Amino acid sequence: RRLLQAAKKANQTGHFIWVGSDSWGSKISPILNQEEMAEGAVTILPKRQSIKGFDRYFISRTLENNRRNIWFAEFWENNFQCKLSRHAVKKGSGIKKCTNHERIGKDSSYEQEGKVQFVIDAVYSMAHALHNMHKDLCPGKVGLCSKMDTINGTLLLKYIRNVNFTGIAGTPVVFNVNGDAPGRYEIYQYQIVNNITEYKIIGHWTDQLHLDTNEMQWPGESQEVPSSICSQPCRPGQRKKTVKGIPCCWHCENCDGYQYQADTYTCKMCHFDLRPNANHTGCDAIPVVKLEWSSPWAVIPVLIAVLGIMATVFVVATFIRYNDTPIVKASGRELSYVLLTGIFLCYATTFLMISTPDVVICSLRRIFLGLGMSISYAALLTKTNRIYRIFEQGKMSVSAPRFISPASQLVITFSLISVQLLGVCIWFGVDPSQAIIDYEDQRTANPKMARGVLKCDISDLSLICLLGYSMLLMVTCTVYAIKTRGVPETFNEAKPIGFTMYTTCIVWLAFIPIFFGTSQSAEKMYIQTTTLTISVSLSASVSLGMLYMPKVYVVLFHPEQNVPKRKRSLKAVVTAATMSNKFNPKGGLRPNGEAKSELCESLETQDCVEGGEPCEGL
């Protein structure tokens, strides 16, 4: 009653649907004057029947025939609102003296107490238990025997639990192992229909629930069943986290990140190559991506590579066409073709880097990514080293240095290149190449953006090791280019090579921060591949443009300069070059662009050419 009062005071009419035990049952007193608060309440009462024999007996009871009940006199006074003693009647109190002619049910209202059936069955249970106990302990004896003089309560309880008979209402009376009788209940609902209130039977319980929901009615005469739960059902992709001590209540927790709902109470991580589906109820395969030919990240490097290959083929064709002309011979034909081969491989590497990775492609990447640069820089290093040794030797003696013939130069170049190939072969032996799918590279916080990257198993460290030898050749070549910077430019290729190496160093210095600075980027695969291929192509383009395009230009558009000049001795050539550089850095140039002296075209024949181009082999 006080709960209903508190709910009414809080203005929660119609908010709560009450569930009451048999203490509430179908009583009027708890809901008196607050019926609207109790509307819809569901209560229970033990299932019972009115015992007609008891009504006849009880109505016939009077003070004369029921003296054995010491509480009956008090009941009589309360029931008839009178007093049995004249002295107890006070004037003006409105209470009369009992006449002993009052009759129950006639001079007062009467309704059988609901638990009469159970009291009768309880008495009979005790009687049956005592009877059975007497038969076992005192067989054939009338009255109590010595074994029952003092009743053993534990033994009596055992007999009570074992009784089995039909009760006063026709229902069986038995007890389970816990000593409880079978539950038989009437289920009521307090309803208000057209301002008329009643406890209406809506079902019963006999071993299981029988509920007629069509008979139920909710606040406001609604037929819709209200939500009456501690916690709302969890949505798909959520797990239940039960509240401690309240198993019917829980909190719903999202299976977030890469988790999926394994069961009602558990979230589990998807396998490394899977991601949760849209509602996190299962896992789907992570899409695999690679650098596509149609991607802008690939189109630009491919365009540069195609143009570079066309330019390289054009230079090679020109050199082959004019192979015996002074300009081509003075360029050092053998090393030039080696260098052009390296430049071609640098451009071709772009196509390997963009092709779909597999075992063959990954193997070719390992071989040719560093090989093209190694061939180029090995040839350039051999050239600058030869120039340096010739002029250093010329300062001290007129004798030619060792190993400056074309054959020696090729041996030196291929020896340097073989170091790169040897390192790659060792790498193949230790760790065979393979294509892998990297699911960690683009494993973003948002599973929807996760991607697997199809790539070769070349780590950033392995890439540095692969290019490291080429970088060493490049730095060494740059050092020799600096050392030979004082040689007049018309005598040899030292200065063009120097400019080539300076520019190449700048390109690779820019490459390093871009390549490693994007290692955590979601676009890492695209940025690093594009940066690497463009850097390699630019290095090749610098060498091609600075070393060979001027020669091609002279060969094709100024053939008058591509003619042999007078021959001079090695001593004269070296002396002229040294003195010209010492006393007049610009003295090596005549007004018409011809050199005052030239280096040997062939050390074996001491043939020299005069003009604006260096000798063959230099």
- Whether residue 232 is contained in a domain is answered as no
State residue 399's pLDDT score: 61
Do 211 and 259 fall into the same domain? no
Domain end point (choices 544, 561, 578): 561
| CATH code at position 528 | 1.20.1070.10
pLDDT at 115: 84
- Examine the pLDDT at 242 and tell me if it is beyond 70: yes
DSSP state of 256: -
From CA 55, how far away is CA 554, in angstroms rounded? Answer: 137
260 found inside a domain? yes
Please tell me whether residues 251 and 326 are part of one structural domain: no
With 0-12 / 13-18 / 19 or more C-beta atoms within 10 angstroms meaning exposed / middle / buried, residue 475 is middle
Q: What is the pLDDT of residue 595?
A: 35
* Mean of pLDDT values over 375-386: 86
Mean pLDDT of 444-472: 86
Amino acid 573: pLDDT:
52
In a domain? residue 267: yes
Domain boundary among 561, 578, 598: 561
Instruction: Report whether 260 contacts 241 (CB < 8 A).
Output: no
Q: Is 14 within the bounds of a domain? A: yes
In the numeric block, which tokens belong to residue 503? 């520019």
pLDDT, mean of residues 531-557: 89
User: Are 351 and 203 within one domain?
Assistant: no
Per the domain annotation, does 615 fall within a domain? no
**Residue pLDDT, tens place only, 112-129:** 888 899 899 999 999 999
Is 541 in the same domain as 444?
yes
CATH number at residue 42: 3.40.50.2300
What is the per-residue pLDDT across 588-615, written as a single tens digit (0 to 9) for each?
A: 343 333 333 344 343 333 333 333 333 4
Q: 300 and 363, same structural domain?
A: yes
Rounded mean pLDDT, 72-86: 88
Give the model confidence (pLDDT) of 266-320 as tens digits: 999 999 999 999 999 999 999 999 888 888 899 999 999 999 999 999 999 999 9
Mean pLDDT of 578-589: 46
Quick check: is 516 in a domain? yes
Q: What whole-number distance in Å separates Cα of residue 543 and Cα of residue 536?
A: 11
Mean of pLDDT over the chain: 83
Shared domain for 476 and 506, answered yes or no, is yes
576 pLDDT band (50/70/90 cuts)?
A: low
Q: Structural domain of residue 14, as residue ranges?
A: 1-49+182-215
Tell me which H or E stretch contains 199: strand 196-206
Q: Report the C-alpha gap between 193 and 191 in whole angstroms.
A: 6
Please state, in angstroms and rounded to a whole number, the distance separating the CA atoms of residues 179 and 582.
124
Same-domain pairing of 526 and 430: yes
Distances from the Cα of 244 to the Cαs of 241, 249, 265, 357, 462, in angstroms? 9, 9, 14, 54, 54
In a domain, 387, yes or no: yes
572 within domain boundaries: no
**Residue 6, pLDDT score:** 93
Residues 205 and 242 in one domain: no
pLDDT at position 341 over 90:
yes
SS3 label, residue 592: coil
Q: How many domains is the chain built from?
A: 3
Q: Which of 495, 496, 491, 497 is closest to 573 using CA atoms?
A: 491
Domain ends where: 561, 577, 603? 561
Do 321 and 254 belong to one domain? no
- Shared domain for 414 and 476, answered yes or no, is yes
Rounded to an integer, what distance in angstroms lies between the CA atom of residue 117 and that of residue 406?
Answer: 126
Number of continuous H segments (helices) and E segments (strands) in the chain: 16, 20
Residue 522's pLDDT band, with cuts at 50, 70 and 90, is low
Query: 201 and 264, same structural domain?
Result: no
Q: Percent of the chain having pLDDT more than 70?
A: 86
Q: How far is CA 168 from CA 119, 187, 263, in A?
A: 10, 22, 51
Residue 231 pLDDT more than 70?
Answer: yes
- Answer with the residue of higher pLDDT: 579 or 39: 39
Same domain, 243 and 194: no
